[in-house]
Amino acid sequence: MITKSIPSMFTVGNLFLGVMAIILGVQGIVEGESRYLDYASILVIIGMLLDGLDGHMARMLNATSEFGKELDSLSDVVTFGVAPAIIMNLVFLNGYGAWGIVVTAMFPICGALRLARFNVKPGEPGFFTGLPITAAGGILATLALYHEVFHPLILIMGVVLLSLLMVSNFKYPKPKKVGIPRTAFWITPLIIGLFAVLAYQFPSGFPKIAFIPLVLYALYGIKKSMDGALRRRRRRKKRNFGKKT
């Protein structure tokens, strides 16, 4: 019974990190401690690790269930939807009044819509339909962490673009199911602990590890869809040309 509950423990841990990220973000504004906002963004990044592990654990322990699937979706909305949106609002969007509120709310709403669509219509095998909320949340949290580096227009467009990508019909390849051997089961907590220590010791550099591949992944879906649209357009032109001749 306890073994079957382990994947859900990882999911709850992911949810806990999302709640802690929100608390740290608000506390950072109230106490004027910018480092709390940095740690809030980092917690979202660490949550990505737990979100990936819960599925692997469920498959490895043969503990997949509808309960775990729904719990995972609810946790993802908080950790990768609500938390990064609030952090971005606290560090930047709160200075844009009503428009800032609209853009802030847009992100978790689109994330929830994407998860609801995935739960009732998983899509074609091997692909996600729309940018996964985990990737979108990780990118947004990193943008919030380095918000001083980017132009304000880039940040606003980034939030809007990530929101639209989540509810788009763009195809994103699913990560290959890399099996975790049972002998490595007890090493998992040590790996999570190592990531936590690295994040604490190097708060400014740690998120860069995930940021670049996540951005490339988000752009991949756009490029793939554009390539497909161009191919379909060329085929239509050939057919039309053939009819005329």
For 66-75, 113-122, 159-168, 222-231, which range has the lowest pLDDT when averaged over its residues?
222-231
CATH T-level fold of 2-244? Four Helix Bundle (Hemerythrin (Met), subunit A) (1.20.120)
Residue 94: how many other CB atoms lie within 10 Å: 14
* Sequence letter at residue 216: L
Q: What is the pLDDT of residue 178?
A: 42
Rounding to the nearest 10 degrees, give the CA dihedral for residues 64, 70, 167, 104: -130
- The arithmetic mean of pLDDT across residues 20-36, rounded, is 92
Q: How much is the pLDDT for 159? A: 96
- Mean pLDDT computed over every residue of the chain: 82
Question: What's the pLDDT band for 109 if we cut at 50, 70, 90?
Answer: very high
pLDDT band, residue 207 (cuts 50/70/90):
low
The pLDDT value given to residue 131: 92
Question: Could you tell me the pLDDT band of residue 214, with boundaries at 50, 70 and 90?
Answer: confident
Predicted pLDDT of residue 106: 97
* Better pLDDT: 202 or 217: 217
- The domains of the chain are located at 2-244
State residue 132's pLDDT score: 92
Q: What is the pTM of this model?
A: 0.80
Q: What is the 3-state secondary structure (H, E, C) of the chain?
A: CHHHHHHHHHHHHHHHHHHHHHHHHHHHHHHCCHHHHHHHHHHHHHHHHHHHHHHHHHHHCCCCCHHHHHHHHHHHHHHHHHHHHHHHHHHCHHHHHHHHHHHHHHHHHHHHHHHHHHHHCCCCCCEEECCCHHHHHHHHHHHHHCCCCCCHHHHHHHHHHHHHHHCCCCEEECCCCCCCCHHHHHHHHHHHHHHHHHHHHCCCCCCHHHHHHHHHHHHHHHHHHHHHHHHHHHHHHHHHHHHHC
Tens of pLDDT, residue by residue over 138-197, are 999 989 988 888 899 999 999 999 999 999 989 888 865 444 445 445 455 555 566 566
